Structures are given as C-alpha cells and as structure tokens.
A and B are shown apart, each in its own frame.
Chain A
C-alpha cells in the first residue's frame, strides 16, 4: 500500500456502552490492540471508556486532540447512524475537521448479534483496524452551502396541503398551491361529520379553504398538474400544466347561471362518489374555491353532439367579455421555488375487486365514500340515508371493516382511519334512520385521543359489533324461509360460530390506497415510493416529513394512511421545516458528493446515463464530463463506473474503501506468492 499516511496521529476510543458492548467484547483488549499493534499505523492513543457519547467521553477526545495533536479519530461504539454527529461535533469543537472522524460499529454489528466473547473481540479488532485504515485516507471536507429561494410549491389542496400553504403564507412567504381538481378541499370536503367530535367537516374546512383562496401570499393553481421539476433544493424550476376550464378565470364572477342553464346532467364520479349528479359545466360543490366552474368537454353537447351545439352557458353568461371560451387551450406556467411539499393524498380501494362482497352487482351494497356523501346535507340525498331506490330507509345495515386492507389478497396495510370512520358511520346511520346497525371488524383500532371514548359511546347507542372477517355478502337465501334481502356471512370469532346476518344495506369500509399515479409523480419529483406506492420519508421514525431528495417534503396520506388530525399535524410540520430552510437563507448539505478530475476524464460518457438526478452533464467544448455538486446526492454509482478512475466520491473514495477492506481482513491476509 502506498503510504503517505505515516505522519498522521490517530486516536482510538473504545466504548463500553455500559455492559452493552463490554459484556460481550473485551474492550480493554481491543484498546490494547489498537495501542500496541497499530502503533505502526499512526495510533498514538487508544482508550476505553464506559460511555463515549457522554459529555466526559467527548471531552476525552477533545482533550486528546488539543494535547496530543491528533489528526484522526476512530470511535468504536454504536452505529454511526446514532452518534456520528456527536463525535464529529466533538472533533469540530477541538479544531479538527469533523470529517476526519470515523465510527466502528461494535455494538449493533458485534456485541448485540454475537455471543462468543473471543470471536466477538477478534471481530471488533478487525472492524477497528478497518476504521483506522479508512480514517487515514479521510480528507477534510466542508459542508456544501446552497442559497434558498423563498417561494414554496405545495402540491395538493386537501387538508394537509392547505395547512402547509397557510402556515407558510402566514409567515409571510409566497406559496404556489397546485390542485388537480377544479377546487381545493380534497377528500375532506366530501365528508359530513368528522370523528370523534362529530364536527361538521364543511364547517371546519371551508374557512381554511376561503383563507387560502384569498390569502395575498397564496397563489392557487387549480385544475392544474405539475409536469416537470428541474433543479435542486433552494432552486427548483417547476412547470405546471393548466388544463383548460373553458371559462375565463379572471372574468367569471361565479354567479352560477351557466350551471343552472346547462341541460346536460351526468353522474358525478368525483365529488359525489358516483351517487349524485352534476351538469356538464359545474363546480364540484357549493363552497368551491375558486368559485369558478369547469366545463367538461367529454359530456358537453357543444363538443359531443357535433361541433357547436347548445351553447346555453355562453348565451346566458352575464359577464363582459363572455366568460365561456369554447376553444381555450391548456397553458404551461413556470414557477421558481426553493422547496416543495407533496400532499397528494389517497385513492379509495376499488371495492369491485372483492367480488364476493357484491359491490357493483348488488344494488344495496355501498362504499364508505358513497355513504359519506349520502349523510352530507349537501349531498345527493340531502343527508338522508336511503337504499339505492332513493327512497326507502334501511331497517338493518351491515358495515364491513377492512375492505381491501389488512388482506394478503389486496393490501397488507391497515388503512388506519376505517375503524373510526365505520364507527362514525354507524352512529350517523342509527341517528338518521334508527336502523339496527352491525359492524363487522377484525380488530378495533381506536388509538388516538378521545377515539376509544367515541367507540364506547356508539357501543352504548346499541350498535352491534361482531368480530370476524366477512366471508361474503349475498342476496341468495339458504332456504326459502330465510329473509334477506341481503345476507352477511361472517365467522363470529368471539362466539365461535358462523353467522348469517340479514340486512337491507351493506356499507363496505374500503381502505386507503396510494394515488394510482403516485409512482409517476414520485419520479417527477425525484423521490422514492415503497413498492405499494406510498412516498418514502427520510426516516420512518425520526424524519417522517423530509424525503431523500433535499427540499422535497411529504405531508398527509401521500406518505401513508392517516386521519385528519395527523394530516394537519404533518402539514404544519412540513411548513415548519420549509420555513426553517427559508429563514436560514442558505443550506448546508452533507459533502458526500462525486466530482470529476478533468485531467483524467477521457470523455467516454459511460457515466452520463447513470445518474437519476441528472447531476452529470457532458461539456461538449472540453469533451469532458462535469458533475453538479448541488444536484449530486452522493450515491457513488458513477464513481464505481468510471473506467478511468476520474470520478472520485468524497467521504467514500476508492482509497478509503480499499484500505478499509484490507484493514478488515488483517487476521486472514493472504501473503503474496514469492516471485
């Protein structure tokens, strides 16, 4: 090994972690090994201490750096994911570049997974040796600093996105809120009451919608979708596609005459979940923000029945100039923002996929969303709970939990809201019809504040809860005497018997799914989705708001199923993160980056196609490749690919890794054959 490492002075610190490490690894022996056997490799001091992460432990390091002139530090303790920051900080305080410290994980990777003390100690020595060899090749690094644009893009105008937008705007910074539907409000606008307080959803949501609609710092882009995202944290350029409304947004007064006069009535698959109707020109609901209608060219007579028919909307529009523009084209807008928050929400599980539950086949099988619309006073039945005939109130209602959720055949996850939603719907049905209600559940999950109290209340109201997964919903009686009209076949696992419950109406609590296009959306924004399609957060526990792409955050159900309070909390948290970036003005990024040594680059372009973040570009004039440090995320794939060795990865260089490999194998090193 070429050695320009002789002049370094290395300190090695072996942590006992109480008995966590010391109980399995002979820490004194490891420290002795470093002090004696690695003297030739520059180790000038090696200590063991009970808790290296304690203030005293850190001071030990700082003191040695100052007094012994250490130029490199190795801490053999827990995983770097836990305390790398701690020990880098200690080095920094003592005047040593923080990136000249390395950790050797002898707790998670040795003491906690092995039992034989001798073997574990030997392995710990090998790991320490690897870390020493590696740290000798570390280079001092500086954090990368990038400026932050003040504007923020929020994608999705549901409750999570609204919360984010309002928080940031209230702090005085500009927000662009992009919403795919004609109005903001999201799924919450469809609901009637919210659990557990039975607040009217509209009463608590519409003030927020109105505030967002009129806020001087919020620019709404409804009926629009993000098409392209370029740039990096602090400096994103976003292209938004604005779909044609066929209505002039800045002229229309929202008087609604066009809607009234439109003769075409079609089923509203979106806001009314398929059980209500809308016109061909419509606003999804009365409190829509913005209160500007959208014309649907798929159903409007002007487009469908040969060009130029009807035109009633245009005829009756009172504005000057006329707000209806039949040949409006889609537009593209370019926005410059520093941060992005994705709050794209969820889709409902398609209950038709479970044939044995009969949705779509049996008229009186409904989804939870259909029932939500029915309960809503502004919904298609004016708040009455009725059968598909539109009139009869049901006398017996079955509510099936976990439809499509917690089911290996469909989705493995718990949709988290359905238990409470089903309890709420049971209450509403009972309140409005006096019907006998049966809830069929696998487990009741009521874990948040006041949730279980609400469940107890509904139990007291006399709703039956039967524990068991429903096998089928059928309209076929077992014998001529069996009275349905529908039967819910279920194994009652508490009573230990099969039951057939006759009902008039069945409500399927269909679960939450990621948006059907979430993978494509993830790709547009450069963030990863789980195989299911939920966006992956940076850390499942400690950072459920950021993503792996700096400057892109997630909020609400796009990250995983959650209820309204959790969505609001996450939306606000995302805003706080964005605001802290904006207020810093510039951002320090981990300096793990790839860079090209132009003198060595042969211009082969092999690396050019490898980067998913478009950080690599080819400079035609000089016939060399260049890497944009701000776009680079530091994965190192290009470093491994470069045949000329022209790309180096800071923090994870070939020299560091090759030395670490050699170091790890100290006890089994093969002696080269004598020539």
Chain B
C-alpha cells in the first residue's frame, strides 16, 4: 500500500460535555474534517479504560484520539487529569509493545471549540498517515510479503 493511498481508521473517544459537543459544533458550523475518525461518546475522558484503546487498535484502528475538556474545566471537576495520567502510562506501554505512542493522541476541546476539534482530527489523521498502517501481530500478512520480510 503506498503511503498516499493509505486511509487510516481512527477511533475517537469524546466526553459528553466538552469534546462531543465540540464535534457537534463542528457539525453545526459545517467545518469539514477528514472522515477517518469514528467517534464514541463517554461521559468523561476519565471513563476511558486503557483496555478500550488497546481493543480499538487490536480490532483494526490505526490510531486512537482521546478528547476531553480543557484542564481545569472538567465537568467532573478533575477527572480529565486522570485521563492525562493514564494516557502518559499508556504511551509508555505502547512503546514497549513496539507501537508508536503518537498513534494515541490526547487532546482538549471545549464545547465552544468546534474549529479546534476539526483541526485536531486533521492533525491526527496526518500524523497517522505518516506513520502508516498499524502493524498489529494479528493482521493477516499476505504470503509473498511475509516471505520478503524474512528473506534478507
């Protein structure tokens, strides 16, 4: 697959109060962004279990975007800080798996920042495009390609 033709699939976790509403606002404002991201609504970025991220990557996503309220503006007061901590830890774990930590991006968008949300999606898609498809062990590799990898 050539790099330009590669269209990654990204799972976006958004919180009910800020980032999901930012995505809604991007919609109502008709701000265009790449269609590569598919959103899941959770009540708070603090709800995001690292397992969800790994599940998404294992099931076919090339990247995961987590969007919460801005630090200090969490509707649950401080739970986005917990998301921040988990994200740091998760990035380290991913690196140990041999997965580029940039594939999992944490970002903030308030309910008023539809444009920012769209920008973040664009940046994320660009980044993952640069990284290429996620090379997850369960991904079926065509026979010829597998042979080429083993051969010197």
A residues contacting B by CB (< 8 A) are 79-81, 105, 107-110, 112-116, 119-120, 123, 126-127, 130, 523, 526, 528-531, 536, 540, 548, 592, 610, 612-613, 633-637, 639-641, 649, 652, 654, 657-658, 660-662, 664-665, 667-673
Jot down 30 A-B pairs with beta carbons below 8 A, ordered by A.
Answer: A79-B27, A81-B24, A108-B28, A109-B23, A112-B26, A113-B26, A115-B32, A123-B35, A127-B39, A528-B73, A529-B72, A540-B112, A548-B17, A548-B75, A612-B77, A636-B42, A637-B44, A637-B76, A640-B46, A640-B49, A657-B42, A661-B11, A661-B52, A665-B59, A668-B61, A670-B58, A670-B59, A670-B136, A670-B139, A670-B140
B137 at the interface (CB under 8 A from A): yes
Within the complex, the shortest CB–CB distance from B141 to chain A, in Å, comes to 9
Residues A652 and B43 in contact, CB atoms below 8 Å apart:
yes
A95 to B139, CA, bound (A): 44
A589 to B59, CA, bound (A): 35
Residues B41 and A80 in contact, CB atoms below 8 Å apart:
yes
Within the complex, the shortest CB–CB distance from A553 to chain B, in Å, comes to 16
Residues A640 and B40 in contact, CB atoms below 8 Å apart:
no
A526 to B74, CA, bound (A): 12
Q: Which range contains the number of B residues in contact with the other chain?
A: 35 or more
Annotate B25-61 by CB proximity to A: 1 below 8 A, 0 otherwise: 0111011110100111111101111111001101111
Query: What A residues does B125 contact at CB under 8 A?
Result: none
* Known contacts A109-B23, A636-B46; 14 further A-B pairs (Cβ under 8 A): A79-B20, A105-B39, A109-B24, A113-B32, A114-B35, A523-B77, A528-B75, A633-B76, A635-B75, A637-B46, A649-B43, A661-B11, A668-B60, A670-B136
A527, closest chain B residue (CB): B77
Within the complex, the shortest CB–CB distance from A355 to chain B, in Å, comes to 29
A520 to B8, CA, bound (A): 44
B residues contacting A by CB (< 8 A) are 9, 11, 17, 20-21, 23-24, 26-28, 30-33, 35, 38-44, 46-52, 55-56, 58-61, 70, 72-79, 82, 86, 111-112, 118, 136-140
Residues A637 and B75 in contact, CB atoms below 8 Å apart:
no
List the count of A-B residue pairs having beta carbons below 8 Å apart.
155
Residues A634 and B73 in contact, CB atoms below 8 Å apart:
no
Query: What A residues does B35 contact at CB under 8 A?
Result: 110, 113-114, 116, 119-120, 123
Of A529, A540, A612, A635, most buried by chain B (CB within 10 Å of CB) is: A635
A264 to B143, CA, bound (A): 96
Decide yes or no: A639 and B47 within 8 Å by CB, A108-B28, A130-B38, A652-B42 being known contacts: yes
Query: What B residues does A540 contact at CB under 8 A?
Result: 111-112
Q: Could you say which of A526, A592, A662 contacts B43, with CB atoms under 8 Å apart?
A: A592
B76, closest chain A residue (CB): A635
Of A529, A592, A633, A670, most buried by chain B (CB within 10 Å of CB) is: A670
Query: What B residues does A661 contact at CB under 8 A?
Result: 11, 40, 52, 55-56, 59
Query: What B residues does A107 contact at CB under 8 A?
Result: 27
Decide yes or no: A670 and B60 within 8 Å by CB, A633-B76, A661-B11 being known contacts: yes
Residues B43 and A635 in contact, CB atoms below 8 Å apart:
yes
